[in-house]
């Protein structure tokens, strides 16, 4: 099956390909000729995932899926949440986002947080959503150089490593995105 993953992030693409394996012919936005920035104007993570997948489906008529991910921090009432990628501004700087979050968390004792990923899959038959969540804590300083985004300050429960200290294989055993992609894979294999 030919399937477009609606992302421009090479980090996300690597993670998803590692989980899906060679079962599907995975196309990128560049492969289908999509050069424009996909819209993300919804108020929910699921809404953004659907908006991106629908954009590709409506403009390129190819089965596709898109994801959106948010880091939800308990002490910050779920922020940055749907605004995780642009938390520190429209420049979408991972370093700025991470530093702003650490600044807002200064002096807070409740460090509980979760990463939530929602994948929207659009096929000719309809749309389906798949969710993955990993719970953990926000550290006071970054650790590790792998991963991206908030990975260096997020330590999953039951692990001594941050997501940025894990190998791709370790991360794909427990991460929010991997959990959602595994559900997607089960669904696609059953078609």
Digit-by-digit pLDDT tens for the chain (191 residues) are: 889 999 888 888 888 988 988 778 899 999 999 999 899 999 999 999 999 999 999 999 999 999 999 999 999 999 999 999 999 999 889 999 999 999 999 999 999 999 999 999 999 999 999 999 999 999 999 999 998 899 999 999 999 999 999 998 999 999 999 999 999 999 999 99
pTM: predicted TM-score of the whole model, two decimal places? 0.94
Angle 11-95-5 from CA coordinates, rounded to 5°: 20
DSSP single-letter state for residue 26: E
Backbone angles phi, psi at 31, to 5 degrees: -60, -35
Q: How far is CA 117 from the centre of its chain?
A: 5
Structure tokens at 189: 């294999």
Token pair 């999953």 is at which residue? Answer: 156
Does 151 qualify as catalytic in the annotation?
A: no
Q: Measuring CA to CA, how many Å separate 102 from each of 12, 20, 108, 117?
A: 23, 33, 10, 21
Please tell me the predicted confidence (pLDDT) of residue 111.
Answer: 98
Q: How far is CA 32 from the centre of its chain?
A: 21
DSSP single-letter state for residue 39: P
**Rounded to whole angstroms, how far apart are CA atoms 39 and 23?**
29
Please tell me the predicted confidence (pLDDT) of residue 161.
Answer: 97
- What is the Cα Rg of the chain in Å? 16
In three-state secondary structure terms, 165 is helix
- Within 61-164, residue ranges assigned H as helices are 94-105
Please tell me the predicted confidence (pLDDT) of residue 170.
Answer: 95
Residue 53 · residue 65 · CB < 8 Å: yes
Question: Which residue is catalytic, options 68, 77, 96, 151?
Answer: 68
Structural domains of the chain ordered from first start = 2-189 (3.90.950.10)
The separation between the first and the last C-alpha atoms of the chain, rounded to the nearest angstrom, is 10
Please tell me the predicted confidence (pLDDT) of residue 123.
Answer: 97
Please tell me the predicted confidence (pLDDT) of residue 98.
Answer: 96
Q: Could you tell me the maximum CA-CA distance found in the chain, to the nearest angstrom?
A: 50
Exposure pattern of 106-137 as b/e (b: 16+ CB <10 Å)? eeeeebebbbbbbbbbbbeeeeebbebebbbb
Please tell me the predicted confidence (pLDDT) of residue 86.
Answer: 93
Please tell me the predicted confidence (pLDDT) of residue 15.
Answer: 86
């Amino acid at each position: 099956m030919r399937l477009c993953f609606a992302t421009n992030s090479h980090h996300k693409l690597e993670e998803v390909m590692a989980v899906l394996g060679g079962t599907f012919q995975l196309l990128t936005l560049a492969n289908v000729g999509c050069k424009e920035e996909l819209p993300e104007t919804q108020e929910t993570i699921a809404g953004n995932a659907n908006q991106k997948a629908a954009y590709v489906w409506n403009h390129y008529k190819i089965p596709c899926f898109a994801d959106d991910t948010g880091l939800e921090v308990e002490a910050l009432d779920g922020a940055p949440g749907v605004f995780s990628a642009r938390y520190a501004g429209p420049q979408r700087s991972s370093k700025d986002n991470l530093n702003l979050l650490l600044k807002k968390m200064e002096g807070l004792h409740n460090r509980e947080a979760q990463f939530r990923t929602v994948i929207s899959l659009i096929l000719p038959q309809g749309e389906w959503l798949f969710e993955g969540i990993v719970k953990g804590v926000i550290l006071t300083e970054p650790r590790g150089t792998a991963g991206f985004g908030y990975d260096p300050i997020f330590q999953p429960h039951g692990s001594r490593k941050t997501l940025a200290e894990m190998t791709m294989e370790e991360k794909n055993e427990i991460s929010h995105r991997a959990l959602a992609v595994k559900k997607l894979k089960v669904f696609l294999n059953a078609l």
